[in-house]
Amino acid sequence: PPHHPRRAKGIDCDMPPKPAARAATGLAGGGGKGKPAPKKKEAKVEGEDDEEAEEDQVDVEAERVAALEQCKARGLFQKRIDERVNQETKHTPLMIQALGGHTEKLLLLITAGADVMLADENLDTALHLAASCHSLECCEALLKKGGEELLKKQNMSGYTCLHSAVEARPKDSEDGLCKAADKPIKEVIDLFLKMGGEEFFDVQNKFGDTCLHTSAQKAKYDVVYHLLSHGGAPAVGPKNFVDSTCIHYAVGRGDEALAELLIKACGTDILKVKKNGGLTAMHACAAGGSHLIFEALIEQGGKDLAKDVTLRGDTPLHIAAQHGHTDVSSCILRAVGATGLTVKNKKGDTCVHIAASKGSCSLLTIYLEHASRESVRLGELTNADGFTPLHLAAQEGHVEACDILQGKGKGGETNTAMYQTLSKAQDSVLHMACYGPGDPTLAAGMVETQGVEFAMLKNRDGYTCLHYAALMNRLETAATMIDLCGAELLAAPNGYGDTCLHIAATKGHLEMAKLLCEKGGGTLA
């Protein structure tokens, strides 16, 4: 044929080739024995590489066909190798084996031609699923086929395979539960970082979380330690899309060991990094409630950290009050002193206002103890509306909190001076007690202590406490106030000339109107 290699060398292919000349033996006259001449290395015939490649291709195809038959025989798929077996998750047979950590079946499917680049409903590839259950062998097999392109694929949430590995949520596969926690993760991390390099640390999901953020959120000390040993310390400091660093998550969860590890890796400056709203690690710790971590952070970064304020003006003491954490509050007060009780946020609220509005009696007791040592007068603290802590406790109906703020229980004496403070709208504590949904005995106790004149006080708009009770439809409170104060309170008009019955009628409070008519007779109507 024209393409034959012998024709290419100029040999007449129509005639048999001439015998090659016999090599000299080195013997004179012939017949004697001697060393034969060394054989020359045969030159590679042109086109031989192509023939070998074709043979290899034939072998690979044969292997694929054989693997395909085995897959069919073992029931790994029904019609097509890349069919969507689960219509809800859009999992392929390869994904199912990856999720289950079945290396032998996964290799068989890959050999049979399964596409490793396909993704499911959440855009998870088989590599994401294998990583989520820490199957090292499955990950190696998938990466051998898919390479760096597969490694860098991100799912719908922006997770790389490394995110999936460190999050390590056990997932249900169609043929059983893959328990990620029971399998080694360090080797899987090593595999991904070896192929992805250091920049793999900085890859963020759609929330801005790196793999370190994810592992810190899940409080996985060993995983964080292993990532840091790979040189991931620079990734500790950066913030995600809600401006949180890893330290915010560690202290927020109360993980003292993890917080110490992160501070050691990144330095104490990380404690000053502010997330959205201006919250530092100290605020996160106050919200989390671990006084041990707070003490450790103070020891590491100094007492001034306990004075950090958010964009709303909240100190860690405000945050601790919002969450009702007594131990952390005590720790903060030891660091900043009782003057911390007087610090106001942008609304003018102190931590005492917050605790009073929530009825946190244990916190109020701690505050009063610290205040008494340093002669801080909590009853005179007012917020932007002029409300004292007692106003807010009364408005929310917290009887016990009101008793604590008034000093009841210590000799039975009541601090009546706290009743004299009026808000900017000239509301008394009794106004707020009648406005809120509290126990009517709270308002009754104030009248018994301060007298009927106290109940007759009007605010800036001329409202009495009974006007407020009618406005908010507080039936029991209204009945109590009328019984204690009589018809004079019932008939008192506000600044617009409205009696409490006018207000009840305007608001459509039928039962309140009936009560007022019964108490006041026909003259009121």
pLDDT (tens place) for every residue of the chain, 525 residues total: 555 444 444 444 444 444 444 443 343 344 444 445 555 545 555 555 666 666 667 678 888 899 889 998 888 988 899 999 888 889 999 999 999 999 999 999 999 999 999 999 999 999 999 999 899 999 999 999 999 999 999 999 999 999 999 987 544 444 444 555 446 789 999 999 999 887 888 899 999 898 888 888 887 888 888 888 887 666 556 678 777 888 888 888 888 888 888 888 877 878 888 887 888 888 988 998 888 888 888 888 788 888 999 999 999 999 999 999 999 999 999 999 999 999 999 999 999 999 999 999 999 999 999 998 888 888 889 999 999 999 999 999 999 999 999 876 554 445 666 788 999 999 999 999 999 987 899 999 999 888 999 999 999 999 999 999 999 999 999 999 999 998 889 889 999 999 999 999 999 999 999 999 988 755 555
In this structure, are residues 212 and 227 in contact, taking their beta carbons and an 8 Å threshold?
yes
For residue 54, what pLDDT is reported? 66
Per-residue tokens: 302: 């100094």
Position 276 scores a pLDDT of 79
Helix (H) or strand (E) holding 482: helix 475-485
DSSP string, 154-210: --TT---HHHHHHH---EEETTEEE-GGGS--HHHHHHHHHHH-GGGGG---TT---
CA torsion through residues 66, 72, 75, 80, sign = positive
- Give the pLDDT of residue 231: 73
Domain assignments of the chain as residue spans, ordered by start? 62-181, 197-315, 337-421, 436-525
The pLDDT score that the predictor gives to residue 38 is 52
Instruction: Assign a CATH topology to domain 337-421.
Output: 1.25.40
Pairwise CA distance, residues 383 & 11, whole Å:
108
In CATH terms, 197-315 corresponds, of 3.20.20.150, 3.30.43.10, 3.30.420.40, 1.25.40.20, to: 1.25.40.20
CA dihedral 364, 370, 376, 379 (to 10 degrees): 10
pLDDT of amino acid 249? 86
Helix, strand, or coil (residue 119) = strand
In DSSP notation, 207-236 reads T---HHHHHHHTT-HHHHHHHHHTT-GGGT
Tell which CATH architecture fits domain 62-181. Answer: Alpha Horseshoe (1.25)
- What is the residue type of 160? T
Which distant-in-sequence residues (6+ apart) come within 8 Å of 216 by Cβ?
Answer: 224, 246, 247, 249, 250, 258, 262
Buried b (16+ CB within 10 A) or exposed e, 92-112: bbbbbbbbbbbbebbbbbbbb
Q: Give Cα separations from 234 to 240, 275, 290 (angstroms).
A: 14, 17, 26
The answer to whether 155 and 124 are in contact (CB under 8 A) is yes
Q: So what's the pLDDT on residue 45?
A: 52
Q: Hey, do 197-315 and 436-525 end up sharing a CATH topology, with the first three levels equal?
A: yes
- CATH second-level architecture of 436-525? Alpha Horseshoe (1.25)
- Report in angstroms the alpha-carbon separations of 476 from 185, 439, 515: 64, 8, 10
DSSP 48: H
